[in-house]
Structure 1
Amino acid sequence: MTKVILSPSITTEIPEFKIGYATYHNIVVENSPQMVRGRFQFYQETMMMDLEEVNLSVYPAVTEWRSVFKKFGTDPAHYRPSSEALLRRLKKGEVLPPIHSAADINNLLSLQYKIPIGIYDLDEIEGSITIKVGNESTSYEGLNGRNMIFTNKLLSADARGPFGSPIVDSKRTAVTETTKNAIQIFYIQPSLPVNEAQKLIKSSAEMFNQIHGGQYNYDVSTKINA
């Protein structure tokens, strides 16, 4: 199983920081089946109705991730956590279009738990993964087509360099319908106890596995086991 390591620069600043991850092997990524599309649409419609009545600050995970960004020097009003960006689209009445089964499940889980979650092609990742804070020399082309520079921003990096973040992920490791092996990274809110984080990752991995087949493993990286 690919190892996910937390940089000491993160755990020194936030000792309770944790990352959940699940690896999947021999999966089949395709257009989402009707069951997934229906569930995704229903959840979006439900969230849209809820968001008509409330501000995003009512969700503790959203508020906590804003504070995490600020602690590392990222302005969350300018660079939003991806989960908050999805919720804001729904609050505006924008329906999230289907992409493929892996991305759709990933977005559904991110909306459900209100945390950033990334999914990556494992065959495009070399060596172990380190979660750290970037600088002016770390950058990549994002899925939005823009060059993202990671000064004072959280990111995921492998032996080749940065490839993911809780803001926007890279084109290099994007999952497609040809992907056979993948890794999902969960930016768990730091206050969530490890045993609850384990339950969240297990439940998410089981759902992903039910749709995509293959085999999976999961774990949570903390300061203790990093």
Structure 2
Amino acid sequence: MYNITISEEIKNACPIFKGAAVYAEVTNTAFCEGLWEEINAFTKELISTTQPEDIKLHPAIAATREVYKRCGKDPSRYRPSAEALRRRLIRGIDLYQIDTLVDLINLVSLRSGYSIGGFDADKIQGSNLELGVGRAEEPFEGIGRGVLNIEGLPVYRDAIGGIGTPTSDNERTKMDLDTKHILAIVNGYSGQEGLREAAGMIQELLKKYASSDGGEIIYFE
């Protein structure tokens, strides 16, 4: 299991930070009809109840944006993924379909407002992860984004380097159809409230759609 720690930089920027990680054995698939029925239902609900200006006011999204500012990043240029996903749907652009594990994590991010890191656990190097702040010119290849400037972004690092930020995860540890073990990290920059529910939602969706027993949850701070 993983030992996840928080750097002093993050503790200073966000004293109330709480985290939860779900580790589970999984079977991934290219597409899951039941999951997409849930995604489409949420999309209709979001569009009917939310205005664009409401998105950044969601507590989890607002808290993540504030941490970006405190760490030196402009959240309007480098949007947290939960915010970016909601904005995409509000603009009438369909959510991209990748595979069941990625789509599942995106649904939890959309519902909860948390920017959630979803990793192929077998690609993570070592058993220790630390949440720190990106440095100038620190190498990081965002999924589908090429080289990403992570200076000032919160970033999880394994023994080799950065694997995930709230804006984008790294190509090196991304999930794919061969993924057998998932590590999903929920970042509670808004504190404890809602964290347990989001982690539980990941477990329930894994049970329903990824041939999993839901795995186990690790809480850290």
* Fold agreement, TM-score > 0.5: yes
- Say whether the 8 Å CA contact 2:186–2:198 is kept in structure 1: no
Match of 2:177 in 1: 177
Q: Secondary structure at the match of 2:12?
A: helix
Verify: 1:22 aligned to 2:19, yes or no. no
Q: Which amino acid aligns with 2:83?
A: E
Identity, % of aligned pairs? 25
Cα distance, 1:220 vs. partner?
Answer: 1.7
Match of 2:163 in 1: 163
Match of 1:6 in 2: 6
> What CA distance in whole angstroms lies between the structure 2 residues aligned with 1:137 and 1:100?
31
Q: Secondary structure at the match of 1:75?
A: coil
Match of 1:59 in 2: 58
- Say whether the 8 Å CA contact 2:123–2:172 is kept in structure 1: yes
Q: Secondary structure at the match of 1:184?
A: strand
Any idea what the Cα deviations from partners look like across 1:128-159, whole Å, max 9, x if unmatched?
11111011142211112320122111111100
- Say whether the 8 Å CA contact 1:140–1:147 is kept in structure 2: yes
Any idea what the Cα deviations from partners look like across 1:17-49, whole Å, max 9, x if unmatched?
122111112x11002322111111111122122
> What CA distance in whole angstroms lies between the structure 1 residues aligned with 2:217 and 2:80?
23
Any idea what the Cα deviations from partners look like across 1:40-95, whole Å, max 9, x if unmatched?
11111221222348632442222222111111111111111110011111111111
> What CA distance in whole angstroms lies between the structure 2 residues aligned with 1:7 and 1:218?
21
Q: Secondary structure at the match of 1:123?
A: helix
> What CA distance in whole angstroms lies between the structure 2 residues aligned with 1:14 and 1:20?
16
Match of 2:36 in 1: 37
Q: Which runs of 4+ in 1 moved over 3 A?
A: none
> What CA distance in whole angstroms lies between the structure 1 residues aligned with 2:117 and 2:57?
23
1:212 is matched with which residue: 195, 210, 213?
Answer: 210
> What CA distance in whole angstroms lies between the structure 2 residues aligned with 1:76 and 1:214?
35
The answer for unaligned runs of 5 or more in structure 2 is none
Q: How much is the aligned-residue C-alpha RMSD, in angstroms?
A: 1.7
TM-aligned CA distance change 1:203 to 1:145, over 3 Å? closer
Cα distance, 1:184 vs. partner?
Answer: 0.4
Match of 2:200 in 1: 202
Instruction: For 1:65-84, list aligned pairs within 5 A.
Output: 65-84=64-83
Match of 2:190 in 1: 190
Q: Secondary structure at the match of 1:139?
A: coil
The answer for unaligned runs of 5 or more in structure 1 is none
Match of 1:93 in 2: 92
Aligned length: 219
Q: Which amino acid aligns with 1:93?
A: G
Normalization by structure 2: what TM-score? 0.92
> What CA distance in whole angstroms lies between the structure 1 residues aligned with 2:58 and 2:13?
23
> What CA distance in whole angstroms lies between the structure 1 residues aligned with 2:69 and 2:181?
34
